Structure 1
Amino acid sequence: MKDQLRQPLMKYGRMLLQQVQKAIGRASAIGDQAFFPPEQFPWARHIEENWTTIREELDVVLTRREDLPNFQDISPDQKHLAKGDNWKTFFFFAYGLEAPGNCARCPRTMELLKTIPGAKTAFFSILSPRMHIPHHCGPYKGVIRYHLGLVVPEPKEQCRIRVADEIAHWEEGKSMFFDDTFDHEVWNDTDGMRVVLFMDVLRPLRFPMSAINELIIKIIAASPFIRDAKQNHEAWEQKMAQLWR
C-alpha cells in the first residue's frame, strides 16, 4: 500500500510545488539565479574560517569510508542518480531528524553547524574518482544548496558542477551556494576523491512567503520520503554502532 501511494504523492506534490516555486522566485530576497555570492550569507565566513576543524573530523570518518552508506541506501527515491559505491554519505541531520551517532563522532563540526541559521540538511558528500552525477533538478525552491569544499582533487578544473548554463569548481575551505531546482550535474573526472559539506538552508524570502515556506518545510519533514530515509539511516546507525566501537 505504501508503494502504491508513493507515486501519486510524488506526482501531485510536484504539481503543487510547481505553482509555489514561481511565488518563491518572486519573493526571494537574494534574487532568482543559479549561483549566489557567499557574501549574501554572512554566516559562511565563520564556517570557512573553521573549515580545517571540519576537515580534521572528516579525515577520521574517511578511515571508515567503505562502511558508509551510499546515497541511494538512505534515499532510494534518488537511485537514478547513483549506483554502486560511488557516492557515500555521512549524515548529521535532515529536516528535523538527527543522526545522534554521527553527531557524536564529529562534535566540533556539529557545534559549527548549530551556528548556521535555517539549516535543514547537513551531511558529508563523498564522490569517488571518475564519478558522474547525471543532470537533475531539486524538488523545492524554498531552500538554497550549500557546499563547503573539504577535499578537492587536482586538477580542480576536472572536478566541477554545472548549474543551468554556468560551471563552477570547488575549492578547499571555500563556500558555494546555488539553487538546485535549476538543472544541474556533477563530474569528478579526476583520480581523487571529492568531499564537500552538503547542506540545504532556508532561502531568505519576503513576508508572507517566508511564513508559507516554513509551513511547507514542516510538511516535507513529515512526508513518507523523509520518514523512510530516517528509518534507513537508523538501521545503518545500529550497524555502525557495532563497527565503530
Structure 2
Amino acid sequence: MWHNSVEPDAWPAPVRVPDLNLVSGAPIPQAPLKAQRGRPLVIRVGKHLRGLFDRIIARSSLIPNDPVLDVRNFPWTASLRENWEAIREEAIRAGLAREVPSLASISPDHRAIAPMNRWRSFFLWGYGYRIDENIAQCPITNALVAQIPDLNSAFFSILAPGTHIPPHRGVTKGLVTCHLGLVIPRDGDVRMRLEDRVLRWAEGETLVFDDTYDHEVWNDTSGTRVVLLIQTKRPLRNPGKWIAELFLGIVKRSAFVQEARANVLRWNAAHKPMDS
C-alpha cells in the first residue's frame, strides 16, 4: 500500500482525476471553458505558466538541456545496469506473472495517451510516495531504487504488443527520466521518437532523457516490452530549483497524484490474494 496511507474502502467505480494533460501537453479534446473554470489551480494556471517555469529551470540546470542525457552525469545508473537481471526477474514475477493495472485505470487523465489495457504500470514509488505492498514483491529492485538521489517515481512500464503511445510531453523540466531495458522483444521494432531522434532500448542498458521534449513510443512486435522507469529531480541551482520544488509540491498535493494513490490502494485491495 502507499506509505502512511489509510486503508481503502471497498472497491468502487474508477475515480475521476482532474486532467493534468492540460499541464503535460498530452493531446486531448478541448474541454468547454465552463468546465475548465472548476479545475484546480494547478490545472488552470499550469498550462499558462509551464513554459515560463521550464525556461527558468533550463537556465538553472546543472546538466545539459539536451533531449538525450549522458548517463555519466547520473552515477546511480551504474548499479541498475550491474543488477539488471535481478531487476528483470522481479519485474517478470510482479509485472507479467500477475494482473497489473493499466495506467489509464489508475490515472484516467492518461487515457488520451495510454489506451486501456495496453500500457500497464506496476508502481514502487510515485511522486515520493512508496507503495509498500508492491515494494514487498521487489526487494532487490527497491533496495537499488531507494539509493537514487532525489527519487520522484519508480515503476515497471509494461507495453503490450502492437501498442502506439501518441506524441506527448512530461509535466515539468524539473524531472529527468531514466529507462532500464528489461524485456525487449526482437521480432519487430520497439522504439521511441524523441524530438527528431529515434531511440531503441537494449536489455541491461539505461537511457536517460528529458521527457518534456515531444516523444512517442511504438511496440511493433508480438511481445511485451518492459522497462524500469525512474524519475528523479533535475540537478538545479536557484532560482530554477525553487521553482521546480514549488511546482512539484503543488502537483504532489493535487488530485492528479492523491486520487491516483487512492486508485492504486483500491486496486491492490481488490486483487489481494485470498490466502494473504
Q: TM-score range by the shorter chain?
A: over 0.9
Structure 1 equivalent of residue 128 of structure 2: 96
TM-score by length of 2: 0.83
Instruction: Evaluate the alpha carbon distance shift between residue 209 and residue 84 of structure 1 in structure 2; reply closer, same or farther with a 3 A threshold.
Output: closer
Structure 1 equivalent of residue 23 of structure 2: none
- After superposition, residues 1-245 of structure 1 pair within 5 angstroms as 5-6=38-39, 9-65=42-98, 67-155=99-187, 158-242=189-273, 245=276
Highest RCO, 1 vs 2 (Cα 8 Å, sep ≥ 6): 2
The CA distance in 2 between the partners of 1:56 and 1:85, in whole Å, is 22
Identity of aligned residues (%): 39
Is the Cα–Cα contact under 8 Å of residues 164 and 184 in structure 1 kept in the other structure?
yes
Instruction: Evaluate the alpha carbon distance shift between residue 171 and residue 244 of structure 1 in structure 2; reply closer, same or farther with a 3 A threshold.
Output: farther
TM-score by length of 1: 0.93
Is the Cα–Cα contact under 8 Å of residues 42 and 251 in structure 2 kept in the other structure?
no
Q: Which secondary structure state, in structure 1, belongs to the residue aligned with residue 208 of structure 2?
A: strand
Aligned residues: 242
Instruction: Evaluate the alpha carbon distance shift between residue 215 and residue 8 of structure 1 in structure 2; reply closer, same or farther with a 3 A threshold.
Output: closer
Is the Cα–Cα contact under 8 Å of residues 95 and 122 in structure 2 kept in the other structure?
no
Is the Cα–Cα contact under 8 Å of residues 14 and 139 in structure 1 kept in the other structure?
no
Displacement of 1:52 after TM fit? 1.1
Q: Which secondary structure state, in structure 2, belongs to the residue aligned with residue 105 of structure 1?
A: coil
Unaligned runs of 5+ in 1: none
Is the Cα–Cα contact under 8 Å of residues 130 and 189 in structure 1 kept in the other structure?
yes
* RMSD (CA atoms): 1.8
Instruction: Evaluate the alpha carbon distance shift between residue 153 and residue 243 of structure 1 in structure 2; reply closer, same or farther with a 3 A threshold.
Output: farther
Letter in 1 for 2:135: C
The CA distance in 2 between the partners of 1:10 and 1:123, in whole Å, is 24
Q: Which secondary structure state, in structure 1, belongs to the residue aligned with residue 273 of structure 2?
A: helix
Q: Which secondary structure state, in structure 2, belongs to the residue aligned with residue 79 of structure 1?
A: helix
Q: Which moved more, 1:124-133 or 1:208-217?
A: 208-217
Structure 1 equivalent of residue 11 of structure 2: none
Displacement of 1:175 after TM fit? 0.4
Unaligned runs of 5+ in 2: 1-16, 19-34
Of Structure 1 and Structure 2, which has the larger fraction of its residues in helix? 1
For residues 76-130 of structure 1, give each alpha carbon's deviation from its aligned partner in whole angstroms, at most 9, with x where no partner exists: 1111012231111100111122211001111111100011111101100000111
Instruction: Evaluate the alpha carbon distance shift between residue 8 and residue 242 of structure 1 in structure 2; reply closer, same or farther with a 3 A threshold.
Output: same
Is the Cα–Cα contact under 8 Å of residues 57 and 243 in structure 2 kept in the other structure?
no
Displacement of 1:211 after TM fit? 3.4
Q: Which secondary structure state, in structure 2, belongs to the residue aligned with residue 13 of structure 1?
A: helix
